Structure 1
Amino acid sequence: MATPPPAPSPDLVLALLADARLPVGGHTQSGGLEPALVHGGLTSADVPAFLRGRLATVVAVEAGTAVVARHRALTAGALGSAPGEEASGEAVFGDVEEAWAARTASAPLREASRTLGRGYLRLAQRLWPGSAVLDALGRRPPRPLVLGAVAALAGLDAARLVRLCGHEDAATLGAAALKLDPLDPAETVVWTLAAHPLVEELVPRLVGLTDPAEIPAGSAPLVEEHSLRHARTTHRLFQA
C-alpha cells in the first residue's frame, strides 16, 4: 500500500480542492449552464444573473449540506450505538443526505452530484486511507457530504468550506461557458470575482449550521426542469 503524503495545511487543501485541474470529474459538469442555454433560452450575457441565482439557491443548499456534514464528521465518534463502538454511516450521515435529497428535487442533479462525490471520495481515500469517517459515507455519497467530511479531516473551518462551494460553482460556470460559447476568457474571471461578495454573504448565514433541518431549502425550479430535459438529450457536452 502506498504511503499517504504528509498532511498539508488547510489552506493548501483548500487550494487543491478549488483547482480546476483536480481530476475528480468536475469537467463533466456545467453547473446547469448547458441545459439553461439549450433549453432555457439563456445567452452568455445572462450568465452573471444565472450565477447569482444559483448562489442564492443551489449553492446555499450544497454549502449548507457540506457544513452540516463537516459537523457530523467531527462529532462522529459520539454517535456510536454503544461506548467504543463505531457509528454506522446511516447514523452519521443518513439524515444529512436525506435533507440534501429533499432539497434537490431533480433526479439527474442528484445523480450528477453522486458522480462528483464518488470522484472526491476516491481521492480522499488515497489521502486518508482507512478513515472511518470516509467509510461512513457509503459508496455513492453526494458531493457536499464528501466535501464536508474532507473539510473535517483536513482541518478546514466552516467558513473556508462555504467559500469553496461558492467559488467552485462560479468557476465551474465560467469554465463551461468558454466551451459552450466563444468568449473572452478574462470575462469569465470577471464574473467569478463579481460573485465573491455574494459568496461572502453566505458565510455568516451557513457557518453555524449543525442540524440537517437548518439547511436552506431555496428552490430553483427552472434549473431542475432544464436538468430533466438535458438528461434525455443525446447531444450534450456535460452531464448536467
Structure 2
Amino acid sequence: MANERASHVPGTRAALLLLTDGRFPAGGHAHSGGVEAAVADGRVRDPGSLAEFCRGRLHTTGQVAAALAAAATAGADPLGLDEAADARTPSAALRAASRRLGRQLLRAARAVWPAPALDALAAARPRGAHQAVVLGVTAAAAGLPPADAAHAGAYDSVSTPAFAAVRLLGLDPFHAAAVLGRLAPEVDSVAAAATAAAERACREGPDTLPAPCAPLIDLDAEAHAAWPVRLFAS
C-alpha cells in the first residue's frame, strides 16, 4: 500500500499544513476553482453568494477529490484512480486544468518528499495525473493517513475559490476567511465520508467512489477556457 511504502517517512501534522498552504508551489494560485466565471455571471457577488458557491463545490467536486486523494493514500492503484477521475470530470477544460495542477504538484512533491511512488507516477503520466490522485500519493509520501489527504482535497475545493474571490471582487480577506471558517464543519464531514468511501474503494475497486456532478461548473469551465482575456487559468 502507498502509505506502507512511505512508512519510513514520519508523518507530522506540519506536513499536512505545508501541503495545504496556499504558498506551497503547486500552482493553485493561478486557478479560481470556477469562481471567475461565476463572478462574471453575477452568481457570486458578495460573501453570502460566495459561501453558497463554495458549499456547492465542496459537496460535488470537493467530495470527489477528497475520496480520490484518500484512496490514493490508502494504497489504491493511482493509475486506476486517474481513470476514475477522468470519468468523473465531464469537462475537457477541467480535465486539462486538473492534470496541469497535478503535474505541478508532483514536481513540488518530488522535491519535498522524494519517494518511488511519486517517481513511478511521473513516469506513467508524463503530461500529468489528476490533481487529486497526485495529492493522495503525495500525502502517502509525506507519511500522512488517508483522512488527512481527504481533508486536504476537501479544503482545496473551497479555499481556491474563496481566495480567488478576494482578487476578483475586491472582497475583504477577512470575509473570505470567515466563509472558510463557517464551512469548516462541512469540510470535516465531507472528508470523513470520503475516507470511508476510499476504504471501500480499496476493497471493491474505484467504481465505488462517489461521483456527484456539478453541471454548471462544467459548462462554465468550457466557456471560461474560450475567454480571450481572463485573470485565472480555470
> Do the structures match in fold with TM over 0.5?
yes
1:215 to 206, 209, 216: 209
Amino acid at match of 2:166: L
DSSP-derived class of the 2:75 partner: helix
Q: Deviation at 1:7?
A: 5.3
1:189 to 147, 168, 177: 177
Radius of gyration: which is bigger? 1
Q: Distance in 2 between matches of 1:132 and 1:40?
A: 46
Deviates more, 1:149-158 or 1:224-233: 149-158
**Residue equivalent to 1:117:** 102
Q: Is residue 16 of structure 1 aligned with residue 18 of structure 2? A: yes
Amino acid at match of 1:19: D
TM-score, structure 2 normalization: 0.86
**Residue equivalent to 1:53:** 56
Kindly report the root-mean-square deviation, in angstroms, between the aligned alpha carbons of the 2 structures: 1.7
1:74-117 CA-to-partner distances (Å, cap 9, x unmatched) read: xxxxxxxxxxxxxxxxxx32221111111111111111111111
Q: Distance in 2 between matches of 1:98 and 1:40?
A: 34
Q: Is residue 43 of structure 1 aligned with residue 37 of structure 2? A: no
2:70 to 67, 71, 78: 67
Greater helix proportion: 2
TM-score, structure 1 normalization: 0.84
**Residue equivalent to 2:233:** 239
Q: Distance in 2 between matches of 1:20 and 1:162?
A: 17
Q: Is the 8 A contact 1:114 1:143 kept in 2?
A: yes
2:119 to 121, 130, 135: 135
Q: Give % identity.
A: 37
Q: Distance in 2 between matches of 1:221 and 1:159?
A: 27
Q: Deviation at 1:9?
A: 4.2
**Residue equivalent to 1:226:** 220
Change (3 A) 1:177 1:8: farther
Q: Is the 8 A contact 1:39 1:229 kept in 2?
A: no
1:135-160 CA-to-partner distances (Å, cap 9, x unmatched) read: 22222111111111011111211221
